[in-house]
Amino acid sequence: MDQRHSFSPLPSTSTCFLHDKLMSVLEPDELVRVTQFVKPITEFVQKIVDNGFGYVAGSGSVYFDTNRFANDPKHFYAKLVPTAYGDVDQLATGEGELTSDGEKRSPNDFALWKSSKPGEPAWSSPWGQGRPGWHIECSAMASSVFGESMDIHSGGVDLKFPHHDNELAQSEAYFNNSQWVNYFLHSGHLTISGCKMSKSLKNFITIRDALKEHSARRLRLTFLLHSWRDTMDYNPDTVAEAISYEKTLIDFFYNATNFHLLTAVSDPSEIGAASGNRSLTSALIKTQQDVYDALCDSFDTRRAMAVLKDFLSLADQYALRQMGTDLPLPEACDQIHAAACFVLRLLRVFGVADETFASIGTPVPVGATVAGAVISDTLEQNLVSMSNESSSTDQLHRSWLSMDALTIGRLKFAVDGAIKAAHSFAGTLLKEKDTFQQIANETTKMIISEFGLDILKLPDDSSDSLRIMVKTVLNEDLDTIAETRFGLETKVWPVVFRLFLSIVSMRQSVRALLFSNAAHDKTAKQRLLTACDRMRDEDMVFAGIRLQDRAGASDGVQNVNSLPALGLVAPEILTEEISLKTKRELERREAKARVTASRNEAGRQPPSEMFLQQLNKYSRFDEKGIPTHDASGKEIAKSQLKKLQKLYDAQAKRYAAYLKSTETV
């Protein structure tokens, strides 16, 4: 690019990154481009000269007079890095070819405006054709928006000197004040596996490159789990930490959702009066304050996330305990819902969670001061100030507790997948005996009656099971509901959730029957249990539905009389979980095989031969091969003989097991 017009298309194409929103970064309120700001920049430079802090060189370049500025009692040069004042090398690194030492009054002076050579990009100015200096662009454009001062200025730690120090100097010279910026946030460097990111090292990773391997959510969590002002090393271990944290969040919201389901299907007659037990709420209030304190301490997201993780663990334990206590479920559900709302509100602020019905509002505790104003308790709806007025019929309407906003596409995909899973499972039951056929037929009739869907007919491209179901149950149009804010969450999701429950209840009835005392053909039982596993581990996973059989609270044995846990989880997350489960099972089998192989290897030797090779220890043996005398010919003591006999007997058992394993059936 050797002509000015070659640079012209750059401003329009440089904003494409804003349109992608790949990392959920909010668009700026003001977007300024230096190529469209040249005249205000020249005016900014001229005023610095008029104020006595700049001078024009013979070439047409304009420089900032650092000595004049530093000696002025109203100003201080190099505020951020005072020790760098006079460091010509750092200044040269920053300025590059913008400066010519021969025409500067001091080596510390830097270019405000640089005259252009033939072929270089150039714009008109009072001093001839040229282009803005490196630092002046930021000062002029920022001042046009913020005026003579701003609260927060951010940038990389490597920009402290000379860039930010020179920004401060020229801006304060322009406004003739002593403080242009109140606070600087200097972020730490990002290294790649311990090395500085460099194209020469072939470790240069763009956001697009990173997103090919990890989701935007995982990348944001990776950064949140580290201090913004410290050097962060991007490597498999740091991302693994974020993946683990994401799973903790997903599991928490999944469990919270299922507690709402459990409350919704509970028998109202078995629910007692409110107990007044608000232990989780008390923990929530403390967590809110601790997170707030962490963020007020230089945006310490690392500590905030650690506090949050401890709370997630506590909330999960609370939910597990309530399932086996007399605490009324709606009361416990209110506290769990408040906890989930707080977590989602915080994650929405962090850019990790979408805007949902549960995530609207502030995570800041009541009474806290934010931007000079006290947070009102009216912003805390459904949080700490929640009353106990919810009933079991309300629970599903507020049960969408997820970091993802619902879409018609996701719901349709899940509903179609669930029907296909039900179709496959019902087809298996219809091939069995009367009892299992009856379960399939009764479930089919119930789903047709309640949802208008026939699970014995697979959905095709021309059908829309979701729309049919919404019209049948709600007598409303799906698109109309979707246009209403949070309509999919509060109206459609409860219907979809009930469909899922109906489908998995069919499976649960089969499992309860198979695990009962009733006699079943072993082959048929195995066939049906395989179908149950296939629905859980394959068909529902493909639909993005996580189905988990509950274990007993005490012994871990499957509890076939309790509702399984279910909810929507991204298919790719579920696939990862299944892959990890398969990998661990394979590793377990391989470890068991290695132990067996080791035992077999040890058992190959007949016990009569195990001591005969140890002539450095023993010289004489009895008829079984057990030593009687040591290497010097001395008779072995009785106590030692007992130990040798035990070793012999143990080898005899290993040898017998080895012989048995080699027998052909």
Quickly list DSSP for 167-232.
Answer: HHHHHHHHHT-S-SEEEEEEEPPEEETTEE--TTTT----HHHHHHHS-HHHHHHHHHTS-TTS-E
Q: For residues 95 and 538, give the distance between their C-alpha atoms in angstroms, rounded to a whole number.
A: 60
The pLDDT, as a whole number, for residue 321 is 87
Q: For residues 506 and 539, give the distance between their C-alpha atoms in angstroms, rounded to a whole number.
A: 15
Give one DSSP letter per residue of 567-625, joined into a string: EE--HHHHHHHHHHHHHHHHHHHHHHHHHHHHHHHHHSS-GGGTTTT-TTTEEEE-TTS
Choice among 298-302, 597-601, 614-618 with the minimum mean pLDDT: 597-601
Handedness of CA 140, 141, 146, 150 (dihedral sign): negative
Res. 43: pLDDT tops 60: yes
The pLDDT, as a whole number, for residue 554 is 41
State the SS3 of 286-308: HHHHHHHHHHHCCCCHHHHHHHH
Res. 8: pLDDT tops 60: no
Domains of the chain in start order, with CATH, are: 4-187 (3.40.50.620), 232-395 (1.10.730), 408-569 (no CATH), 604-661 (no CATH)
Choice among 175-184, 305-314, 521-530 with the minimum mean pLDDT: 521-530
Look at 515 and 226; give whichever has higher pLDDT: 226
Exposure on the CB side of residue 135, measured as CA atoms within 13 A: 27
Look at 327 and 610; give whichever has higher pLDDT: 610
- What is the DSSP code (8-state) at residue 86? T
The pLDDT, as a whole number, for residue 111 is 96
The pLDDT, as a whole number, for residue 546 is 96
The mean per-residue pLDDT over the stretch 162-172 comes to 97
How many angstroms from the chain centroid is the CA of residue 536? Answer: 24
Choice among 37-41, 174-178, 389-393 with the minimum mean pLDDT: 389-393
Look at 18 and 551; give whichever has higher pLDDT: 551
The pLDDT, as a whole number, for residue 595 is 83
Q: For residues 545 and 547, give the distance between their C-alpha atoms in angstroms, rounded to a whole number.
A: 6
| pLDDT bucket at 533, cuts 50 / 70 / 90 | very high
The mean per-residue pLDDT over the stretch 124-142 comes to 96
Hey, what are 256's tokens? 């919270």
Give one DSSP letter per residue of 271-290, joined into a string: --------HHHHHHHHHHHH
The mean per-residue pLDDT over the stretch 317-322 comes to 90
Res. 557: pLDDT tops 90: no
State the SS3 of 486-500: CHHHHHHHHHHHHHH
Q: For residues 497 and 474, give the distance between their C-alpha atoms in angstroms, rounded to a whole number.
A: 14
For 26, 267, 439, the CA distances from 366, given in Å and listed in that order, are 26, 35, 52
The mean per-residue pLDDT over the stretch 225-252 comes to 95
Look at 13 and 56; give whichever has higher pLDDT: 56
Cβ-based neighbour number of residue 309 at 10 Å: 16
The mean per-residue pLDDT over the stretch 63-84 comes to 96
The pLDDT, as a whole number, for residue 3 is 47
Q: Is residue 186 a contact partner of residue 154, using CB atoms and an 8 Å limit?
A: yes
Hey, what are 195's tokens? 């090395």
Choice among 40-49, 96-105, 133-142 with the minimum mean pLDDT: 96-105
Residues forming beta bridges with residue 156, ordered by sequence position: 187
Hey, what are 289's tokens? 């304050």
The CB-based long-range contact list for 549-555 (8 Å cut-off, 24+ gap) reads 549/511, 553/320, 553/323, 553/324
Cis preceding-peptide flag for 162 (omega within 30 of 0): yes
Res. 283: pLDDT tops 80: yes
| pLDDT bucket at 372, cuts 50 / 70 / 90 | low
With a pLDDT cut of 90, the percent of the chain lying above it is 66
Phi and psi at 514, nearest 5°, equal -70, -35
Q: Is residue 133 a contact partner of residue 98, using CB atoms and an 8 Å limit?
A: yes
The whole-chain average pLDDT of the chain stands at: 88
The mean per-residue pLDDT over the stretch 371-382 comes to 55
Handedness of CA 101, 106, 108, 113 (dihedral sign): negative
| pLDDT bucket at 368, cuts 50 / 70 / 90 | confident
Residue with tokens 């509060």: 490
Res. 383: pLDDT tops 60: no
The mean per-residue pLDDT over the stretch 64-74 comes to 97
Nearest residue to 273 via CA among 226, 317, 328: 328
Cβ-based neighbour number of residue 159 at 10 Å: 19
Res. 665: pLDDT tops 60: no
Residue with tokens 């004489």: 620
* Buried/exposed 279-294: b ≥16 CB within 10 Å, e otherwise: ebbebbbebbebbbeb
Res. 388: pLDDT tops 50: no
| pLDDT bucket at 506, cuts 50 / 70 / 90 | very high
Q: For residues 42 and 506, give the distance between their C-alpha atoms in angstroms, rounded to a whole number.
A: 76
Those residues with Cβ within 8 angstroms of residue 658's Cβ, 6 or more apart along the chain or in another chain: 599, 600, 603, 604
Nearest residue to 515 via CA among 506, 505, 526: 526
The mean per-residue pLDDT over the stretch 536-545 comes to 95
Q: Is residue 392 a contact partner of residue 268, using CB atoms and an 8 Å limit?
A: yes
| pLDDT bucket at 269, cuts 50 / 70 / 90 | low
Q: For residues 555 and 372, give the distance between their C-alpha atoms in angstroms, rounded to a whole number.
A: 54
The pLDDT, as a whole number, for residue 328 is 67
The pLDDT, as a whole number, for residue 331 is 86
Q: For residues 39 and 333, give the distance between their C-alpha atoms in angstroms, rounded to a whole number.
A: 62
Q: For residues 25 and 436, give the distance between their C-alpha atoms in angstroms, rounded to a whole number.
A: 53
The tens digit of pLDDT for each residue in 213-233 reads 999 999 999 999 999 999 999
State in Å, rounded, how far the first CA of the chain is from the last one: 81
Hey, what are 339's tokens? 């906890």
The tens digit of pLDDT for each residue in 568-577 reads 999 989 988 8
The mean per-residue pLDDT over the stretch 627-635 comes to 92
Look at 28 and 69; give whichever has higher pLDDT: 69
The pLDDT, as a whole number, for residue 326 is 59
The pLDDT, as a whole number, for residue 581 is 86
Choice among 9-18, 614-623, 625-634 with the minimum mean pLDDT: 9-18
